[in-house]
Amino acid sequence: MKYRLYAPGPTPVPEEVLVEMAKPILHHRTPAFEKVVAEVREGLKWLFQTSQEVIIFAASGSGAMEASIINTFSKGDQALVVDGGKFGERWWKICKAYGIEYDVIKVEWGHAVNTGEIEKRLKEKTYRAVFVQASETSTGVAHPIKAIADIVKKFDQTLLIVDGITAVGVFPLPMDEWGIDVLVSGSQKALQLPPGLAFAAVSQKAWAFVEKSDLPKFYFSFKTEKKNLEANTTAWTPAVSLIQGLRVVLSNMKKEGLEAIFKRHAKMALAIREAAKSVGLKLFAPESPSDAVTAIYGPEGMDAGKIVKYLRDDLNMTIAGGQDAAKGQIFRIGHLGYYDAMDMITVWSGVEMALAKMGYKFERGKGVAKAMEVLG
Ligand SMILES: *Cc1c(COP(=O)(O)O)cnc(C)c1O
């Protein structure tokens, strides 16, 4: 049976990119690979909407999250973490591992952070950085990054460090224009690649703190990578095949255009949200939904995990369930990266088949029709 992947990462990889990555390995200390790095550097700056260097590591996205902390902080610096889900949690867990003192703004799952609370905290204490997710994948929430940036900008000593792992290449996050200081992403989400690359774009304001940073680091050094990237190479052996694939992805994304990419994602997300509502299901994050992933409550009194299981066992499709307290409560559909209108119709029809099988009473095909209306 054909396998279909609709998780909020990893996401499907286009055939053209798979073929590119199957080519013989280039040696990384050659002019041929330097040419690939040069092209990828330009492409990443375009995608992150910045004139600054975008650092590349061979790591999953969390590697870039860790790097963004240990490269900007010095001993004694304090962190302010917005924790509205599993990935918000990860920020303070990394701080904790490095002995960095942190305060947490706990946000109820399914909700966006109150920006007034951030401003209040920044006035009370000097923080080196505010950490937040642009798109909190565990809850399907988009936090208001522009409004947060407008606040953080007013504090000279404070950086805004954004996890854009399910946001870069999904919805607008113009880093330079808004004043984001470190913007992190990974390869296996909107970048249509297998897992294994982590990215961090670093603002001028942030580089000043990177220069002073005295926390221990070796492999994950922004300074070392920047110096090497400027010579179109990497400090260590890079994930050569992934970077070759990335060259093709970025070239295709450029052809599609940023505006068109954002529009495509907005439309797919709207289709899934409207389909869910049309069959009487409730959205987990109705007020500020992310266009990368939609979290939906299962039918009342029923285990939402059964929908995930039916898709997996009977249809060979992957969607995601809920984590922690949301386990059994919600299911999540990823629609970021290499997806189009027909993918949305397909995944939603699978969900309706599962709902029918579970005995949920609704008009069959209603959500599919709604999705067709939005996407058509
Ligand atoms: C996927 C993801 C990450 C990174 O997870 P890895 O498993 O390390 O790639 C971080 N933040 C968000 C919001 C994510 O969706």
Fold adopted by 258-375: Aspartate Aminotransferase, domain 1 (3.90.1150)
* Strand, helix or coil for residue 187: coil
Which atom of ligand 1 is least distant from the CA of 62?
A: 8
> What pLDDT is stored for residue 338 in this prediction?
98
In contact, 329 and 238? CB cutoff 8 Å: no
Tokens of 230: 């400027």
- Report d(CA 50, CA 61) in Å as an integer: 19
Neighbours of 176 (CB within 10 A): 16
For 209, residues 6+ apart whose C-beta sits below 8 A from its C-beta are 72, 73, 74, 128, 159
pLDDT single digits (tens) 147-205: 999 999 999 999 999 999 999 999 999 999 999 999 999 999 999 999 999 999 999 99
Residue holding tokens 């990119």? 17
Pocket test for ligand 1, best of 82, 135, 137 (most atoms within 8 A of CB): 137
From ligand 1's centre to the CA of 330, what distance in Å? 19
Output the average pLDDT for the chain. 98
Q: What is the per-residue pLDDT across 107-117, written as a single tens digit (0 to 9) for each?
A: 999 999 999 99
pLDDT tens per residue, range 12-56: 999 999 999 999 999 999 999 999 999 999 999 999 999 999 999
Q: Is the dihedral of CA 253, 180, 121, 220 positive or negative?
A: positive
What one-character DSSP code corresponds to residue 103?
E
Confidence of residue 376 (pLDDT cuts 50, 70, 90): very high
User: Amino acid identity of 371?
Assistant: A
The atom of ligand 1 lying closest to the CA of 8 is 15
pLDDT tier at 146 (50, 70, 90 boundaries)? very high
Q: What is the CATH number of domain 15-256?
A: 3.40.640.10
Q: What is the chain's percent helix, strand, coil content, to nearest 5?
A: 45, 15, 40
Q: Which residue is listed with tokens 């993918």?
A: 343
Pocket lined around ligand 1, Cβ cut-off 6 Å: 8-9, 60-62, 87, 133, 135, 137, 163, 165-166, 186
- Tell me what pLDDT residue 295 has: 98
Residue 364 CA to ligand 1 center (angstroms) comes to: 35
DSSP bridge pairs for 331: 296, 321
Q: Closest Cα to residue 236, out of 55, 47, 72?
A: 55
State how far the alpha carbon of 236 is from the alpha carbons of 29, 218, 240, 273, 327, in Å.
10, 11, 11, 43, 40
| Residue minimizing CA distance to atom 3 of ligand 1 | 61
Q: Cα separations (Å) of 58 from 27, 78, 128, 241, 310? A: 16, 28, 26, 11, 35
pLDDT, position 249: 98
Share of the chain above pLDDT 70, in %: 100
Tell me the C-alpha to C-alpha distance, in Å, between residue 210 and each of 70, 128, 182, 203, 296: 9, 11, 11, 10, 40
Other C-beta atoms lying within 10 Å of the C-beta of residue 24? 5
Distance between CA 257 and CA 277 in Å, rounded? 31
pLDDT digits (tens, 9 = 90+) for 262-310: 999 999 999 999 999 999 999 999 999 999 999 999 999 999 999 999 9
User: Which of 57, 62, 90 most suits a substitution to test ligand 1, by most atoms within 8 Å of the C-beta?
Assistant: 62
Q: What percent of the chain shows pLDDT beyond 90?
A: 100
pTM exceeds 0.95 for this model: yes
| pLDDT band for position 143 (cuts 50, 70, 90) | very high
Indicate the angle between helix axes 31-48 and 240-256, nearest 10 degrees. 50
**What pLDDT is recorded for position 118?**
98
What is the pLDDT, as a whole number, of residue 345? 98
pLDDT tens column, 85-129: 999 999 999 999 999 999 999 999 999 999 999 999 999 999 999
Helices assigned H by DSSP within the chain: 15-21, 31-48, 61-70, 86-97, 115-124, 145-152, 175-178, 204-212, 222-229, 240-256, 258-278, 305-315, 341-357, 366-375
192 residue type, one letter = Q
Question: Rounded CA gap, 233 and 173, in Å?
Answer: 27
The ranges assigned to domains in the chain are: 15-256, 258-375
Q: Residue 314 CB: number of other CB atoms within 10 A?
A: 13
Element (H, E) at 109: none
**Domain 15-256 matches domain 258-375 at the CATH topology level:** no
